[in-house]
Structure 1
Amino acid sequence: MAGIESPGLTAAPAIAVEVREILSKAGLKLVKKDDFIDTRTVVRFRDLNFQERAELIEKDPRYGKIICRCETVTEGEIVDAIKRGARSVDAVKRRTRAGMGRCQGGFCSPRVAEILSKELHIPMDKVTKSGDGSYMLVGRIKETLRGEENA
């Protein structure tokens, strides 16, 4: 069951039932967590009406800054995705749709990378597209090329 890709996502509920049965038959004691949260509260700015948007921006101004124009994804939504575990540009894309629009991330991907860098407290050249090894930046311009030899 590990590493299942599409259409694994749509089959996930059926797979989960099957795995539960296999594990139970194998003698593993399965215990339901008392604090399990079965619903996820996710804000989709683009689906809110004007009043809801205004209230959200009042609470957190980052929701007033559109990062992905094609999909109307805000900085607030991206920060929320990072808080929920997104660690790469593609992980943010899957959680928010930033980069799935007409420009395919041509406009917003660098901005998403900047937010990842800031929120994860990592340098920009450590931000990845899809995980380890998929770095979006592969180096820095030497200071001497910009005329700053001792900078």
Structure 2
Amino acid sequence: MHSITRLHSSSCDFLTKLVAAEITEYVTSWITSDGNETLQRFASLQLDCEAAIKEQEQEFEKYYFISMKHLAKGRDLHEAAVNIEPLRESAINLKSALDCFAEKLELARERIEAATRLQQLLLMHNHEPHLQPEMQRLAELSGATQLLEKFRQEQ
């Protein structure tokens, strides 16, 4: 009976260490380094050039898909670890990092989508007055006010 208890205990210890290693590797290798660096690059892009907007939108779509996979994996790890006492604090820290990253990711997505929509409106050469406030809002959200000004000057 003791050997079964020891076997169960050692397999639980192994599982705990495995989940802890996954959390540590996951958080340090992607959310806090590669993923975050790329996200910061997308968040600070200059979106005033028409050609760059389309290119960056395509790049961001790929990055967004990869990010969502990492977020899903991180949430699975959190769920697995939150009820294991030695891992509870790591799980809480992981959830916090995931939530923060997800929020920044969505802000970057909204910004790039706004630039793309603004570019679409500008390419349609839409002079309709009712679209002007929407175009101004999109330019401000995306940081592409110079692109809108360039369009207005050409008119």
Length-normalised TM-score, structure 2: 0.27
Length-normalised TM-score, structure 1: 0.28
Task: Tell me: higher relative CO, structure 1 or 2? Use CA pairs within 8 A at least 6 residues apart.
Answer: 2
